[in-house]
Structure 1
């Protein structure tokens, strides 16, 4: 069942407390914020002064004769009008430039905070998330900061301030009729806009949900490109994608029609207000109570007020959406990882490399226990293998050792230090793993190997390339180590990817090495070469090997046989064969299978 990601909800309250959470991100440049606000006030003062200059210029032209001396007054007023107009624009640009830096830094800080926090969340969260929808939520949230600041601070706020000043000026200079028309018109306009926008938000929500769903579908399908090809399901994927696109198309159509209704209602209110104001002013001129300049001033003020309000529906909806999107980001930041460092967590120090599991029990859900009272010790320098059928809990042991999860019972120690009492960063610094499913970054071969130790030199990279038996493969490539591996390493074979993973793990030079089916994608010849390299690399290191092919662990110091979450047998290869138990049965079955394949 597909989950939709959070979108602005028509019935959800506006989260004004987002400003409180956003405030620390904006206060990094306090002086810039103060200067931007001063520029904003200056621009509004210039904007309010424009109709007055225009009024006096018109009146002076209407009364002036042709003498040069008298014409100097209206010409000076025209020059003043141009100066105020320029000042209004320049102050606005300076304001945007000053505050732009504040907004961009806030977006950067917030985006980085979310990114870091997502990496702190536990594996369970990342296994259940949808990458496409989550990335779109992050994109919308950070973009919402820019929109919120630009329109809330520099559009809605200044417009309300200007309306208040204009209503007071009209009331004191032209009487209550003009002030009432403007005030009533603005109240009707804002009320209708908010009501209509609230009504149509449901269509915007559906459109955003369809957009996220479509994006998630596309990303999920493309990330599993190989699986789609394996099952010949290109048409099936296209049909499912088209179904999402159809939902998106329908949502867009409803959104467009609701926008038409909103814009039509706004236009009607503006037209009535403009007509009433201009009619009232015309009557005043006809009665000799007002001049032509007053008529022009009334017209200029009315247009000046309604021009920014013309975008109120869009601005209100986007501000509401921006607040919701930013709130989504803060909700991500509020998510508490199930696995986190304790307040008294210390740095792990590894001197010997002894790993001990003490009565460890674990379940992903209460109804499905995975491990039951697991106890074993890996002594310094030992190579311990863990074998068993799929689902026995072998890989779960490695996830617990890495603290992707914490055990429900028991403890895990390294050199007698409980791994729950040390920082996760220091724990993982001493662990190296070659996973069963090797995922590479869409980068060059050398950078994927260097990921094990980002500051490693080229010489160190070449050393582990040789240890992982990658040298011949690299030499055969036209671009050598600069070869691009493609998204998730799709340009490399399974065996090549695993050897890259081995090189990457060796480059990290950890005290404890973990091999999770590290040779599962290799042919017999490559496997023999890699096993030789791994034996050399594992010398003087503690090594844990999860294996399906028992032939790869015959040299282990001890082999643990798991079955249904229990360790049912322990011993060396020869000892376990002599016992004639589960291990011996698995060995016999695999030997027969290999014999059949070689015939």
Structure 2
């Protein structure tokens, strides 16, 4: 049964991960948890003292004819003081536990966001953006609600059950033992009724993630949807997912709605049995009026937490589904750590690929034994069919991916032994799919720098041929580009990306399809500007168009995962 063995192993892994993170959380908030638990214990002690005092002092009210005398008022003042103390303790415990829950979830949100940021690029290529957003919103919200409510309800309810059981045993052992028998019976019925809750909760979490993923994808591709008149089809698809979520929620709510009244009903039957037993004990003289009143009050106290615990059981099933997704992401390996890396100092930009191979699990081998030497200051073009691995080579150089075999050297330094921050700081990447933030042109130009000098920004914009375009805009550098740069043309976005890379003053420039968004005139202009602009950099261009070879010093064709040299300019021949 290998499949069953794997399933059992995964369950044990998630259980150990939950325990591991639970212990880390407790260590971080140890004193806060201790304070909250102390408040809850004190509140429970006060709550449990009230039925006992009322029962024992009721004898005084029953024996004396006077309606209210000083002795009665003393008892009433004591009860009011206990009620006030209970309310104050409940306020303090509820406020503090919710505050701890809010602080805890703020920290978990930041930790999850930080962890997601350091995951390899491959994770984001294999997972929908909506799934990631769902974890940061829906899944964390479920865990947050559970973390802040479970401590508020679970601990006091358990303490009330235990305390009431002990006190009832002290008053009448037979009745207490009867209750101890009935409570596990209620729990068994609870398990039988709610055994379908966990699969529903898991399916609901996934459906919510799918729905958010679709909405996120459609909003990002709204122009495509409009261009192909797909609004109605996408609306139907979203409505179908929403109806699936609604159906799952209806099943979940039906189970949750059933649990609480069912437990309340069973608990009430148990209390009825207790009342009958108490009356029989009283009639036989084995139980006095004060003890009888205390027992009845403790019976009422005992039923209250059972209904709450039934609701918490349903919430527990929800949080299990959400936590499994979160823990799965936490368990993923992040990008290589830099603890043992050496900061890389790149002075020239000499690049060597030495027998580099790489592949994806889904696509197999992409690059086979790729080797080349690009001298500092040279410009290299790599052309080939789309999907042949050209962009993958750039990503290997940026350490977005790790080579399966071989090594990459810059100025004689193995990039695998360098810190990623120092490596990426020395390389300017201009991607084909230009990513712009929802801000001004100036914000996007200076994204990679903390305190850029305005003159440097203007110079980089001029070098990228962007300044005359910006000056024609009504707000100049303060022009808002919209989400993803939607308010700009493809050529404008590409020039912003180039200026942003130049502003980093790198030694190496990587250009992914640099003319793909330019018209014919802009392509000719790009070629004319090329030598003057890039003479101070080591440049690697990749393109499916070999016509850029007239501006390159070295030209390679990437075909079937291997590089084939096409030409080299005479002034760079060895």
Task: Give me the TM-score of the superposition, normalised by structure 2.
Answer: 0.88
Answer yes or no: is the 8 Å Cα contact 2:553–2:568 preserved in 1. yes
- Alignment partner for residue 76 of structure 2, among 75, 78, 83? 78
Counterpart in the other structure of 2:398: 402
Question: Aligned equivalents of 2:476 and 2:77: distance in 1?
Answer: 69
Answer yes or no: is the 8 Å Cα contact 2:56–2:294 preserved in 1. no
Question: Aligned equivalents of 1:342 and 1:478: distance in 2?
Answer: 45
Counterpart in the other structure of 1:23: 23
Where 1:268 maps in the other structure, the secondary structure is helix
Question: Aligned equivalents of 1:349 and 1:490: distance in 2?
Answer: 37
Q: Is the deviation greater in 303-312 or in 148-157?
A: 148-157
Question: Aligned equivalents of 2:322 and 2:157: distance in 1?
Answer: 24
Counterpart in the other structure of 2:412: 416
Counterpart in the other structure of 2:482: 486
* CA pair 466-298 structure 1, distance change in 2 beyond 3 A: farther
**Cα displacement string for residues 550-595 of structure 1 (whole angstroms, at most 9, x for unaligned residues):** 454523222223333333333247999xxxxxxxxxxxxxxxxxxx
Deviation at 1:341, TM superposition (A): 4.4
**Cα displacement string for residues 518-575 of structure 1 (whole angstroms, at most 9, x for unaligned residues):** 2211223444555566544423221111234445452322222333333333324799
Question: Aligned equivalents of 1:533 and 1:48: distance in 2?
Answer: 84
Deviation at 1:163, TM superposition (A): 1.8
**Cα displacement string for residues 437-479 of structure 1 (whole angstroms, at most 9, x for unaligned residues):** 1122233332222212243244433333333333343334444
Answer yes or no: is the 8 Å Cα contact 1:386–1:547 preserved in 2. yes
What are the within-5 Å matches in structure 2 for residues 157-172 of structure 1?
157-172=155-170
Deviation at 1:417, TM superposition (A): 0.9
How many pairs are equivalent?
563
Answer yes or no: is the 8 Å Cα contact 2:390–2:558 preserved in 1. yes
1:134 equivalenced with 2:132 (yes/no): yes
What are the within-5 Å matches in structure 2 for residues 106-505 of structure 1?
106-177=104-175, 179-283=176-280, 293-337=290-334, 340-341=336-337, 344-365=340-361, 368-505=364-501
**Cα displacement string for residues 479-500 of structure 1 (whole angstroms, at most 9, x for unaligned residues):** 4433332322222221121122
Counterpart in the other structure of 1:52: 52
Counterpart in the other structure of 2:3: none
Question: Aligned equivalents of 1:299 and 1:39: distance in 2?
Answer: 26
**Cα displacement string for residues 385-410 of structure 1 (whole angstroms, at most 9, x for unaligned residues):** 22233344322211111122222332
Q: Is the deviation greater in 105-114 or in 168-177?
A: 105-114
Deviation at 1:289, TM superposition (A): 5.7
Answer yes or no: is the 8 Å Cα contact 1:28–1:102 preserved in 2. no
* CA pair 228-250 structure 1, distance change in 2 beyond 3 A: same
Answer yes or no: is the 8 Å Cα contact 1:514–1:543 preserved in 2. yes
Answer yes or no: is the 8 Å Cα contact 2:382–2:558 preserved in 1. yes
What are the within-5 Å matches in structure 2 for residues 506-517 of structure 1?
506-517=502-513
**Cα displacement string for residues 245-272 of structure 1 (whole angstroms, at most 9, x for unaligned residues):** 2322322232233334434422320221
Answer yes or no: is the 8 Å Cα contact 1:511–1:541 preserved in 2. yes
Where 1:404 maps in the other structure, the secondary structure is coil
Q: Is the deviation greater in 217-226 or in 465-474?
A: 465-474
Gapped regions of structure 1 (runs ≥ 5): 1-8, 577-599
Deviation at 1:222, TM superposition (A): 2.1
Q: Is the deviation greater in 393-402 or in 322-331?
A: 322-331
Deviation at 1:132, TM superposition (A): 1.3
Answer yes or no: is the 8 Å Cα contact 1:385–1:544 preserved in 2. yes
* CA pair 360-203 structure 1, distance change in 2 beyond 3 A: closer
1:540 equivalenced with 2:536 (yes/no): yes
Question: Aligned equivalents of 1:62 and 1:457: distance in 2?
Answer: 88
Deviation at 1:515, TM superposition (A): 0.9
1:39 equivalenced with 2:36 (yes/no): no
Task: Give me the TM-score of the superposition, normalised by structure 1.
Answer: 0.85
Answer yes or no: is the 8 Å Cα contact 1:468–1:530 preserved in 2. no
Deviation at 1:118, TM superposition (A): 2.1
Answer yes or no: is the 8 Å Cα contact 2:55–2:293 preserved in 1. yes
Answer yes or no: is the 8 Å Cα contact 2:388–2:559 preserved in 1. yes
Q: CA RMSD in A?
A: 3.1
Deviation at 1:57, TM superposition (A): 5.0
Where 2:224 maps in the other structure, the secondary structure is helix
Deviation at 1:48, TM superposition (A): 0.6
What are the within-5 Å matches in structure 2 for residues 67-106 of structure 1?
71-106=69-104
Question: Aligned equivalents of 1:553 and 1:149: distance in 2?
Answer: 61
